[in-house]
Structure 1
Amino acid sequence: MQKKQLLTRLDDRQANELETYINSKSMWSPITSFVEEKGLRNDYTKGDFINFLKEVKEENSMNYAVFSYYSLKNLAEALGIDVKWKFVRRKAKLRKPSDREQQKPTLSAGQVEKMVNAVKGNGYDYEKFFLALSTSYGCRRIELSRVKEKDILKDRLLVRTGKGGEVREQYLPKQIRPIVQNFEFKDRDFTVNILSDVFHDIREKAGVEKRDRMGWHSIRRGLVTEFRKKVSQTDGYSDADLFKFVRWKPNSRVEEMLSIYDNADPVEADREMFEIHPSIHYWEEN
């Protein structure tokens, strides 16, 4: 069942609420799979959700199981179903990730440069587009899947963040501007799963060895690691600048208030960050 088919079978209120709750195309996947398996009803039980989540967990990664949990919670809320979600999550046994699952592969500056050179010389337009965004802003996979044509402006890009961080316009540097602005979306649907395949296609072209749990976040970790070196060595920059640039959610009341009261132009702040950006120069034409 596709998203459009599901919405047409809901009443107007339910359809509106479901579209309000879900702002990412990729979040429709667990919902439509659930409805295909269980049928579209207004009387789902806890067992329906629990059993489905168990199946998801057995066949997919822990991250996708948790992702599915939140997607189904949105479905239940739209349908007006009273479900004790803590109970559902506990019964689905979405346990703490194992040590292996918590491994954090990080791409080095050299590996990132090899990937950029690989797509510049022999890459599809979408490979250049997503790698340019990833290496420039450290975009999470979910953030890449949310980029729309309307989000690309003359000298800035709207990043619809993941994990509750700040949704904000960011400066679009001249090095990647042609790649980003000339990209043709053509109604192509780049889900988070498809984006994982895109990452590994690029990795293989670059000859970068695959490691467990390597993905777009590996570029983000590498970018933050290299940025920290620059920030610590360059006058006029602080960790707070990096914090905002990579769209981290404040994890304390103090950081939250600083974020609220800081009225500096974020785009201008980004422009300054790109002056010490560790990898944006990879995209310059030789």
Structure 2
Amino acid sequence: MPEETTLERMRLLLTGRTEETKRTMVCAGKKFIEFAGKKDAYDRWDVLRYLEHMDQKKRSKNYRRFAFYSIKKVFSATESPWPFEKADVPKVGDEERIAPALPLSQKYHPMVDPEVVREEVGRLVKNAREKCNSLELAMLAVGTTYGTRRVEKARIGPDDMDRKKGILLIRTAKGGVMREHLIPESIAPYIEGYDWKHNLSPGDVTLVLGDIYSKCGLKKPARVGWHTFRRALNTCLREIAGDENAPVRLLESHIYNFLRWRAKARGEFGMMTVYDRATSFRIDQKVFSI
């Protein structure tokens, strides 16, 4: 089968994914085809040889895992039986799970002092108010307040905001629950000041953060992205949940609900984290009061 046909079928199989996801997975599939050769069908040994090749090239475990799923699409595109089970998926080592969290000066520190996080984020927000445009301010507002993922920012449209009721709909990524959030007064001018009539990819959203740092005269540390704010928010809320003297009683299940994690990721909390609309709004009020 011609390589172009296989890659075009891959794109069709990825219908519904973001353009960036399509591009990167097709690119990974193309690299596999170039290594294994153009064939009408592939088998288990082609994949194992390619995984060994990536190991020799010292590719990260994260990339090998991503390539594994991309190769699975190549098998589907060529109608080759997939010879692996779920247990065969390449594992990601603990050393690759370490991700930067605010404060930015301690980008590999696993835990964060909530007060320091507020100070760091406050410094960025203060500079942005004076130097950034409406798009950048809106992205910064939803990123620091709700811990939105890149694709969630890209999906927000003009119909997702109810200005009269002060509600923002976030179309959740990674299998999470689509969630309506209250818009606190402190960020309402920035969210409502942008029309949200954009056509951004997750990659475009990444570039917005770089522009914010640049305009604020700050150097963005390596590996710091929008997800850094999400991790920092999670860390702050978890520390408050574990503080018996905190002014607000916050449960772990509240955090899972607020950050819109999928049910599988919620583990032992299970259905405890699936609340009705009114309860979710009360959780918002608790978080925003901190």
TM-score over 0.5 for the pair = yes
Alpha-carbon distance in structure 2 between the residues aligned to 1:133 and 1:185: 16
Alpha-carbon distance in structure 1 between the residues aligned to 2:277 and 2:196: 33
Distance 1:248 1:234, change over 3 A: farther
Alpha-carbon distance in structure 1 between the residues aligned to 2:157 and 2:96: 37
1:104 aligned partner: 100
Stretches of structure 2 that go unaligned for 5 or more consecutive residues are 104-116
Distance 1:43 1:254, change over 3 A: same
Stretches of structure 1 that go unaligned for 5 or more consecutive residues are 278-286
Q: Give the aligned length.
A: 261
Distance 1:255 1:88, change over 3 A: closer
Indicate yes or no: 2:131 matched with 1:122.
yes
SS in 1 for 2:205: helix
2:232 aligned partner: 222
| CA shift for structure 1 position 243 | 2.1
Alpha-carbon distance in structure 1 between the residues aligned to 2:5 and 2:184: 40
| CA shift for structure 1 position 245 | 0.5
Which region of structure 1 is more displaced relative to structure 2, 27-36 or 241-250? 27-36
Alpha-carbon distance in structure 1 between the residues aligned to 2:227 and 2:255: 16
CA contact (8 A) 2:158 2:196 kept: no
SS in 2 for 1:247: coil
CA RMSD of aligned residues (A): 4.2
1:139 aligned partner: 148
| CA shift for structure 1 position 70 | 3.5
Equivalent residue in structure 2 for 1:171, among 162, 166, 182: 182
2:251 aligned partner: 238
1:27 aligned partner: 21
| CA shift for structure 1 position 6 | 8.6
Q: Partner amino acid for 1:183?
A: D
Equivalent pairs: percent with the same residue?
A: 20
Alpha-carbon distance in structure 2 between the residues aligned to 1:217 and 1:153: 23
2:273 aligned partner: 259
Alpha-carbon distance in structure 1 between the residues aligned to 2:175 and 2:51: 26
Q: Partner amino acid for 1:185?
A: K
Distance 1:96 1:35, change over 3 A: closer
| CA shift for structure 1 position 98 | 6.4
| CA shift for structure 1 position 244 | 0.9
CA contact (8 A) 2:256 2:266 kept: no
Alpha-carbon distance in structure 2 between the residues aligned to 1:63 and 1:224: 22
Structure with the larger RCO, 1 or 2 (CA within 8 Å, 6+ apart): 1
Structure with greater Cα Rg? 2
CA contact (8 A) 1:105 1:213 kept: no
Q: What TM-score does the superposition give when structure 1 sets the normalisation length?
A: 0.68
Distance 1:95 1:241, change over 3 A: closer
| CA shift for structure 1 position 137 | 0.6
SS in 2 for 1:116: helix
